Amino acid sequence: MTWNIQEIPDHALRLISVDGLGAATLSALISETGGVAEAGEAVLRGETMQLIPGEAMRVLKQKMERVEVDAIRWSADAIEARVVLVTDKLFPAFLSPLPACPCALWYQGNLNVVHMPSVGVVGSRRCSNYGIQQATTFTTAFSEQGLTVVSGGARGIDGAAHRAALTSNGKTAVVLGSGLSIVYPPEHVSLFKAVVQEGGVVLSEFSCNRSPRPEYFPRRNRIVSGLSSSLLVVEAAKRSGAMITARIAVEEHGRQAYAIPGRIGDSASAGCLQALVDGWVSIAVEPQEIIDETKRAWSRFAAVSSCGARQ
């Protein structure tokens, strides 16, 4: 199931809206109390929990008491946003077991697109025409093979990937570094509306009225990686969010990452070139290899999940 904002009691809404509350903590609370509403009530009453240290509970209670429930309800209701908890069956299974998984996702659109084989496509905001061209070419091929394209909705490569998926009648998932009511960047309002209208999804770990902050974007990038069966970097400088996302994908999430080689001496491709030299990403020269790896990775995950469900 997923949740309409009006279905969530105040104490439960306070709990899932605490900034930084992780999947493990919420799961532990629900396991001990029997449900998200019961968990919220228990924390606000200051009850002692076996699975969570007393100091952590005290801090959590203080954070819950500062949550502005009415503002969260109004902002979510105004855009018809829904919520899925990590303990719900419809929470993205590819994301839920990973480190730093959020306790909940707020979303608009069709959540089913993140229950499919998917490719993360990331890159520079200040990209070249070459980068836009390559992002469009690769994303079009991914969409034509039925893969969901996941990206962060930013200017540059992210936006090009989302647009190419829509143009080729594919599905795409936008992960925001802000709440759904605070569209960032603002010029992508029409793009994100089109994503929802065409059967894709726009989602965020942040409650709908949360403004973007610099520290939110690394968390956004982690979700982009976590939702993706494999990851493609199109253009990226050495110090960039795109290369951080690729590192997370490889080192923390066990994904295969690819990079498109750029021109030597071009700072926009310096991160991709260095990663290729260092050998921790694979070179991307045509889409089919990435498509095949994405489908293999999803099949492996589905097989493991199926075995775990039968045990």
- 122 and 43 part of one domain: no
- 141 and 29 part of one domain: no
- 69 and 158 part of one domain: no
pTM: 0.95
- 168 and 231 part of one domain: yes
Is 144 a member of any domain? yes
- 234 and 159 part of one domain: yes
- 63 and 125 part of one domain: no
CATH number, domain of 234, equals: 3.40.50.450
- 152 and 28 part of one domain: no
Is 196 a member of any domain? no
Is 221 a member of any domain? yes
- 63 and 144 part of one domain: no
- 134 and 68 part of one domain: no
* Domain's final residue, options 61, 81, 101: 81
**Count of domains forming the chain:** 2
Domain limits for position 17: 3-81
Query: What is the pLDDT tens value at each position of the chain, 311 positions in all?
Result: 799 998 999 999 999 999 989 999 999 999 999 999 999 999 999 888 887 888 889 999 999 999 999 999 999 999 999 999 999 999 999 999 998 899 999 999 999 999 999 999 999 998 999 999 999 999 999 999 999 999 999 999 999 999 999 999 999 999 999 999 999 999 999 999 999 999 999 999 999 999 999 999 999 999 999 999 999 999 999 989 999 999 999 999 999 999 999 888 888 899 999 999 999 999 999 999 999 999 999 999 888 765 554 44
* Domain's final residue, options 54, 81, 108: 81
Q: What is the 3-state secondary structure (H, E, C) of the chain?
A: CCEEHHHCCHHHHHHHCCCCCEHHHHHHHHHHHCCHHHHHHHHHCCCCCCCCCHHHHHHHHHHHHHCCHHHHHHHHHHCCCEEEECCCCCCCCCCCCCCCCECEEEEEECHHHHHCCEEEEECCCCCCHHHHHHHHHHHHHHHHCCCEEEECCCCCHHHHHHHHHHHCCCCEEEECCCCCCCCCCHHHHHHHHHHHHCCCEEEECCCCCCCCCCCHHHHHHHHHHHHCCEEEECCCCCCCHHHHHHHHHHHHCCCEEEECCCCCCCHHHHHHHHHHHHCCCEECCCHHHHHHHHHHHHHHHHHHHHHHHHC
- 142 and 281 part of one domain: yes
Is 255 a member of any domain? yes
